[in-house]
């Protein structure tokens, strides 16, 4: 399996046939017709039974949405038990036997990718895993969605190559594309890249307005790093306050006793 596997999707080439969705469902054993949508289902069409989807935008633009496999994934950093893992090769995968179902990953993901099996009493978090098990065992050399694409709108390779290819296309037809590779730098870079002739900011929550090139996990790490010092510091402060007050009280009591013993005989 190659290092840093990466998918590049060229939105201008997609015809929205959803062959990628069908292939994804097949290789992952997902039901063809999943559970009907709940109120509040994500509007993009992703669900626990649909790990990639094609979003239709005005004027026949089709944008495939899937897990971005961030270089520094927020979902992996927030998972308290490490059920979501960033593999050494790159794809972000999920281990149900560890998960406890807190769904923090679903909130932490800026793209709203992890979805939940709400209809199950034994549910898992589900999302695209970049066909990691099959790629790893060498059963396939490309993710199923890439193989299925009839127009090569979505292609697969090492991240550096894909980035080069994207930039080559942007340069070759500058009037056709918006001069940006989505996923190159946002939240520290992702392993699913897009080039397009429309803005793809809508893929992230709130139009990605709050996202910077800084990886999201650094936001929490800044607060978590000093935790051990805070812990010990608080103990030290509380302990010394107790000691000081206790000592002062003792001294005052002694003084009072001395005064009493001094005054005592005189009083008699």
Partner 1 sequence: MENRRLFLFKGFMWVLAGLAAAVAVLRFALGLGVSTALSDTTPWGLWIGFDVMGGVALAAGGFVMAAVVHVFHQERYHAAARPAILTAFLGYGAVAVGLLFDLGLPWNIWHPIIFWNPRSPLFEVAWCVMLYLTVLALEIAPVILVKTPFQKLHGLLSRLALPIMILGIMLSTLHQSSLGSLLLIMPFRVHPLWYSHLLPELFFVSAICLGLSMVMLESSVTSWLYKREPEMEMLSGLARLASFALAFYFLFKMVDLAIQHKLGLIFDGSWPSSLFIIEMLLSAVIPAVLFAIPAVRRSSKALWFLAACSVGGFVLDRINASGLSQVWATRNFYFPAWTEFAISLGIVSACVLVFLFIEEHFPVDPHALEQTEAERKKQESALPAFAPFAQVWLGEGWRKSARVYSFLFVLAMAFGLTVAPKTEPVLQMPAKRAVGADILRMGPGPRYVYFDHKKHQDEAGGDKSCCICHHLHQKGDVGTPCVVCHQKMFLPTNIFNHEAHVAALNGKASCALCHGEAEPVKVAPLAKKCSECHEKDFMAQNPAVKVFDSKWAPSYKDAMHKMCIPCHEEKAKDPKVNQPNLGRCGACHDSGTATEKAYLAKFPDSSKPGGVK
Report, in Å, the least distance between residue 98 CB and partner 1: 5
Report, in Å, the least distance between residue 188 CB and partner 1: 13
253 belongs to the binding site for partner 1 (CB under 8 A)? no
* 84 Rama sector, left if φ>0, alpha if ψ -120 to 50, beta otherwise: beta
59 belongs to the binding site for partner 1 (CB under 8 A)? yes
CB 162, CB 169: distance < 8 Å: no
Choice from 2, 49, 89, 123 touching partner 1 (CB under 8 A):
123
Choice from 137, 138, 179, 223 touching partner 1 (CB under 8 A):
223
Look at residues 63, 66, 65 and name the one whose alpha carbon lies nearest to residue 196: 63
Binding string, residues 176-205; x marks residues near partner 1 by CB under 8 A: ----------------------------xx
Which one, 56 or 136, has the nearer CB to partner 1?
56
CA dist 41 and 113 (Å) reads 12
CA dist 232 and 150 (Å) reads 61
Q: Which residues have C-beta within 8 Å of that of residue 207, sequence separation ≥ 6? A: 201
Binding string, residues 13-32; x marks residues near partner 1 by CB under 8 A: --xxxxx-------------
Which one, 140 or 245, has the nearer CB to partner 1?
245
208 belongs to the binding site for partner 1 (CB under 8 A)? yes
Residues facing 126 on adjacent strands: 115
Choice from 25, 64, 65, 115 touching partner 1 (CB under 8 A):
115
Which one, 160 or 231, has the nearer CB to partner 1?
231
Which one, 43 or 138, has the nearer CB to partner 1?
43
User: Using CB under 8 A, which of the segments 137-145, 155-163, 226-234, 257-265 binds partner 1?
Assistant: 226-234
Count of Cβ atoms closer than 10 Å to residue 42 Cβ? 14
Q: For residue 50, what is the DSSP state? A: B
Which one, 118 or 251, has the nearer CB to partner 1?
118
Half-sphere exposure of 18 (CA within 13 A, CB side): 12
211 belongs to the binding site for partner 1 (CB under 8 A)? yes
242 belongs to the binding site for partner 1 (CB under 8 A)? yes
CB 75, CB 110: distance < 8 Å: no
CA dist 179 and 197 (Å) reads 9
CA dist 114 and 143 (Å) reads 19
């Amino acid at each position: 399996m190659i290092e840093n596997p990466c998918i590049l999707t060229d939105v201008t080439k997609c015809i929205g046939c959803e062959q990628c969705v069908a292939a994804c469902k097949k290789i992952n054993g997902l039901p063809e017709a999943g559970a009907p949508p709940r109120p509040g289902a994500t509007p993009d069409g992703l669900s626990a039974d649909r790990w990639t989807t094609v979003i239709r935008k005005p004027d026949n633009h089709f944008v495939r949405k899937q897990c971005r496999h961030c270089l520094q994934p927020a979902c992996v950093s927030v998972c308290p038990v490490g059920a979501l893992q960033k593999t050494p090769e790159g794809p972000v995968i999920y281990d149900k036997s560890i998960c406890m179902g807190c769904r923090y990953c679903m909130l932490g993901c800026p793209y709203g990718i992890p979805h939940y099996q709400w209809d199950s009493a034994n549910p898992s978090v589900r999302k695209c895993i970049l066909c990691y098990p099959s790629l790893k065992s060498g059963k396939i050399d490309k993710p199923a969605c890439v193989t299925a694409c009839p127009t090569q709108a979505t292609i697969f390779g090492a991240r550096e190559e894909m980035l080069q290819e994207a930039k080559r296309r942007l340069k070759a037809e500058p009037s056709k594309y918006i001069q940006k590779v989505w996923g190159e730098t946002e939240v520290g870079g992702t392993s699913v890249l897009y080039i397009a002739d429309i803005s793809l900011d809508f893929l992230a929550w709130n139009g990605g307005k709050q996202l910077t090139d800084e990886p999201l996990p650094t936001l929490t790490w800044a607060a978590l790093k000093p935790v051990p010092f805070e812990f010990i510091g608080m103990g030290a402060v509380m302990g010394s306050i107790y000691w000081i007050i206790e000592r002062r009280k003792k001294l005052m009591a002694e003084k009072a006793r001395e005064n009493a013993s001094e005054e005592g005989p005189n009083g008699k």
